[in-house]
Amino acid sequence: MSSKLKAHLLVLIGNFFFGASAVAVKALTPAVMPPLAINVLRVGIALILFWLLFAIKPSNPSIRKKDVLRFILCAGLGVTINQIMYVKGASLTSPIHTSLLSLATPIAITIIAAWLLKEAITIYKILGLILGIGGAATLVLIKNHADKESNSIGDLLIITNAVSYAFYLVLARPLMNTYKPIHVTRWVFLFGAIMIVPIGWGDFMKVDWHAFEFHHWFALAFLVLGATFLAYMFMVVGIAKLGSSVTGTYIYTQPVFATIISMILFGEKLTVIKVAAALLIFSGVFLVNYKKAVAADEKDGLQKSS
């Protein structure tokens, strides 16, 4: 198996972890754990594992003083706010809603990049934003009587999670140009843990571990090891081997995984409204990235012809 094929496979597995994480959250909270307790475990254990990797394969661990504030800001957005909003939101709404609304990230990136980085807004992006926001609004505002798991507050928290993560990706872009992705991730998780552990420690101490059954332990291990540590590692491999654009396209698989698993485990129904909203969001994400894909293809063509 070639290194690129392995990278594609790892990125696909990573997105399976991300997509299924909403189902794992649903199995844990509020049944046996408060949401913030899950955050403490996810970030804390992943941080330990990232630094254990550094101990196994040492490299220059330092960061430049001028970058410290950006690392802290990225940690607040990409770990603290992102993780808290995601777990709390996923506990209040359905796994399908969670995974579909998470696709707001690339749409939010377009808006933030236009604002902070002064990237041009094309007609494709405008149309994509309209479709994507329309799909998200459909999920939040229109409820189906059979859709008992969905909750507007949970939906809004997931959208906040997606916007927070979009800010992180835009602000982390200069760091990725200076440091290796794993180096950035390690420090972002360190600063993120410093913020999130004090916030969630009270809830963590309230967990009744004796109430856990096998499926609870499995869901927790899946969240901490699979959907946090391994998923982030696999994304790093994808960015290094395939590039950020190709790696980013795999986000489309997350709702597919979440839908299949939640239908099997929770009996969640795929309604016409959800399908319509999904089509709007998918179309929106495709259009806001359309010009980038065309430009990349043209660049590759020029490089091959030279």
Task: List, for residues 237-261, the tens digit of each pLDDT value.
Answer: 887 788 766 777 788 788 888 888 8
Tokens representing 209? 């571990």
Picking from 281, 270, 29, 283, the residue whose alpha carbon sits closest to that of residue 154 is: 29
Low-confidence ranges of the chain (pLDDT < 50): 144-146, 293-306
pTM score of the predicted model: 0.81
Q: How far is CA 104 from the centre of its chain?
A: 10
Report H helices in the chain.
Answer: 3-28, 35-56, 68-75, 82-92, 95-101, 104-116, 123-141, 152-178, 181-205, 214-221, 231-242, 244-249, 253-265, 272-288, 290-305
Q: How many CB atoms lie within 10 A of CB 39?
A: 27
Q: Is 65 helix (H, G, I), strand (E, B) or coil?
A: helix
CA separation for the pair 97, 90 (Å, rounded): 8
Sequence-distant (6+) residues with CB within 8 A of 31 are: 216
State the pLDDT at residue 298: 38
> pLDDT per residue over 156-205, tens digit each?
999 999 899 888 888 888 888 888 888 888 999 999 999 999 999 999 99
State the pLDDT at residue 16: 94
State the pLDDT at residue 305: 32
State the pLDDT at residue 287: 82
State the pLDDT at residue 291: 61
Angle at Cα 33 formed by Cα 29 and Cα 39, nearest 5°?
85
State the pLDDT at residue 148: 55
Q: Are 231 and 18 in contact (CB under 8 A)?
A: yes
Place of tokens 């690392």: 71
Q: How far is CA 253 from the centre of its chain?
A: 12
CA separation for the pair 103, 98 (Å, rounded): 9
State the pLDDT at residue 198: 95
Q: Are 90 and 209 in contact (CB under 8 A)?
A: no
Cα-based distances in Å from 287 to 85, 121, 128, 236, 291: 27, 12, 5, 25, 8
Which residue type, as a one-letter code, is found at position 203? D
